[in-house]
Structure 1
Amino acid sequence: MKVKDYYDIEYSYMLAEKLKSVYPDFNTELFISLLQENLEQLEFNDRQELLAKSLHETLQLEYADVIAIFTKILGPELEGSLGMFTQGYWLWPLGRYVELYGDVDFEVSTQFSKELTKRFTSEYCMRPIILKYPERSMKLLLEWSKDGNKRVRRLASECIRIRLPWAKKMYVALDYYDMYVELLTNLKDDLDKTTQKSVANNLNDLFREVPDKFEEIVRTWSVEPVSKECQWVIKHGSRTKRKKLEANNN
């Protein structure tokens, strides 16, 4: 089964049932009618968009009130670092809803994103918010980079990536470069492997855009003593550089 096939009409009834359990006025018939004709013919991204827009059309409420409803169905936080794309997959349209409509309310959207990432992931729904409120967002991401929850720390790094897969390039990291370096430095020794991967991916993105800045960070981090976590981050974050050097030597 392809990932897109999880998000079918049967899934839509399941999501409607969850919403109706906390918001009895949820119009399941309207929601399904908006999906019935086209949902299962669409590819993954288009399915998410249709689901999110159908939620928006069905829930004729203020944005903050919709997010309050969504918050009630999030369920328990995931244990460990994994499960976001297995146990948490059903939450994807809620994240897409925030991605499409969330830049109207910084506080509500960022707080929901912080809770969502503990059950799923929130890097995509954070990016429109970061673009609209860059300085405010960077200050918040610095706080998140010191959070006690590993998933929140990972989010602080992942959502600010320049070249996040499946997303448009975003250069806020370069516009607020000093804060960006501080954020990554806060996370370079993180014990959580998913956070390490995210920081390394930031480095790799940076090398592809501004190699001099990549070298500057690596040089600063390479002063002894260097933790084994930071060593791994630098090595993994240097993979494009290594490939380029190998290509030049051949």
Structure 2
Amino acid sequence: MEEGFLFKDVFNPQLVANMGQNLKAVWPSFDEVSFQNQIVPNLVDLSLSERSHLICEALYTHLPSEYKKAIDILLSSFNQTVEKLETTGFDGFYYMPIARYVSIYGLDEGDFETSMKALVEITKRFTSEDAIRSFIRKYPKQSFEYFYKWSADENVHVRRLVSEGTRPRLPWSSVLREFIVDPSPVLELLEELKEDPDLYVRRSVANNLNDIAKDHPQLVVKRLKNWQSINNKGTQWIITHASRTLLKQGLPEVLDLLGYPADVKISVENFMLNKAECKMGEEIEFVFQIVSKAKEEQNLMIDFVIHYMKANGKTAPKVFKLSKKKMPAKGTLILKKKLSFKAITTRKYYEGLHEIEIQVNGKRYGMREFQLKK
């Protein structure tokens, strides 16, 4: 990767030229010079998404107005499908504007099947997880009929489209509010993929369940309990990975499901911070001791909770994973952790009183305070 490369630079003059050449090769009437002139002079100040949309609009301008004919040209210009799970570099982003084209201009009822065919071919090379959501909203019943068929597809990317495209809170995409209100259709669909042979798909299934758990924890708990009896290592991996949000919430039934009983017999002692004040950009360290009160070995899931000061002057808790341990009978465990308050893009820090708690198998122990200052 060249020095100074920005993510948005995946859409560059060379990509536009390649797309124009590929389209002209299968449809000689395509005006590749005009296509490039509509795009290239306007790329510089645009974001990744804006560049993708600009290319999408240029495709609409230069392809036939008849949607089915335009799709035939686009599909004919595609290269071979990606057979492996891993994609190389940023090559797949070539198809992002084409997926957008389908999601915008292929929504007429008479074009539905053509669009589904196109999105399958795109997802084999990049992903159609964002584009498919337009069709879920407009044609939920018809879309799910395709999803059930695709869940048994031999291509791993097509199967993953089923679980990833239906995520209620898919990152970098608009939410599917209907599934935030009632995720039942998605939960039933994920049943078809719970024993998928590929981790690529199973990870997507787990992420979908984790999304749903943020709004309907008990529905997800019930589903995971039903899957607990399935003798399949992949399914059991999904159960663990799908429980991330539920574990941070400390739900006793989930902890018990994963072998971390809520009635653990321990005490947390000698919980100390190395200083009472921490400046922005510095670190603070805490240490604590876990003492077993049981006569048998215990499984411990050890987390810590930071109550961050927010802009409104109130604190909000954030749970972080720390360690999983097998605690011997009457054993003692000492743990320490450094917390950095260096500036990061994913969190903004505010001055004021912060608090730290230890969480073991969902139960919180002790609380220590420190001041964060400029």
Task: Report the TM-score when normalising by structure 2.
Answer: 0.63
More helix by share: 1
Determine whether 1:32 maps to 2:71: no
In structure 1, give the amino acid aligned to 2:100: R
Q: Which runs of 5+ in 1 are unaligned?
A: none
- 134, 142, 150: which one pairs with 2:148? 142
Specify the alignment match of 2:77 in structure 1: 73
Cα shift at 1:3: 2.5
Q: 1:108 aligns with which of 114, 127, 130?
A: 114
Given candidates 48, 68, 80, the residue that maps to 2:52 is 48
Q: In 2 relative to 1, CA 96–79 (structure 1 residues): closer, same or farther, beyond 3 Å?
A: same
Q: Which digits, 9 at most, give the CA deviation of each residue in 1:73-127, with x for residues without a partner?
A: 1211112212176442321211111122221221000111111111221111111
Which of 239, 242, 255 matches 1:237?
A: 242
Q: Count matched residues.
A: 249
In the alignment, structure 1 residue 183 sits paired with structure 2 residue 182: no
Which structure has more relative contact order (CA 8 Å, sep 6+)? It is 1
Equivalent residue, structure 1, for 2:204: 198
Is the partner of 2:130 in helix, strand or coil?
helix
Tell me the TM-score normalized by structure 1: 0.93
**More displaced stretch, 86-95 vs 42-51:** 86-95
Structure 1 CA distance, aligned partners of 2:177 and 2:30?
39
- Residue 169, structure 1, aligned to residue 193, structure 2: no
Q: Name the residue aligned to 1:219.
A: 225
Task: Work out whether residues 180 and 215 of structure 2, in 8 Å CA contact, stay in contact via their aligned partners in 1.
Answer: no
The residue identity in structure 1 corresponding to 2:164 is: E
- Residues 142, 182 of structure 1: 8 Å contact kept: no
**Structure 2: runs of 5 or more not aligned:** 251-302, 304-318, 320-361, 365-374
Find the residue that maps to 1:41 and give its secondary structure. Answer: coil
1:93-104 matches, within 5 Å, as 93-104=97-108
C-alpha spacing 1:55/1:17, structure 2 compared with 1 (3 Å): same
Deviates more, 1:205-214 or 1:170-179: 170-179
1:125: which partner in 2? 131
Distance 2:192 2:246 in 1: 23
Query: Which one has a larger percent strand, Structure 1 or Structure 2?
Result: 2
2:34 equivalent to 1:4: no
Residue type of the alignment partner of 1:169: V
User: Would you say the 8 A contact 1:134–1:172 is kept in 2?
Assistant: no
Match of 2:17 in 1: 13
2:39, 2:236 → 1: CA distance?
48
Where has structure 1 moved over 6 Å in runs of 4 or more? Answer: none
Counterparts of 1:192 and 1:84, CA distance in 2: 19
Distance 2:90 2:14 in 1: 17
CA distance in 2, matches of 1:163, 1:84: 26
Structure 1 residue 139: Cα displacement: 1.4
Deviation at 1:163, TM superposition (A): 0.6
Partners of 1:48 and 1:218 in 2: how far apart? 39
Structure of greater Rg: 2
Partner secondary structure for residue 151 of structure 1: helix
Would the aligned equivalents of 1:48 and 1:93 in 2 still touch at CA under 8 Å? yes
Q: Distance in 2 between matches of 1:16 and 1:238?
A: 46
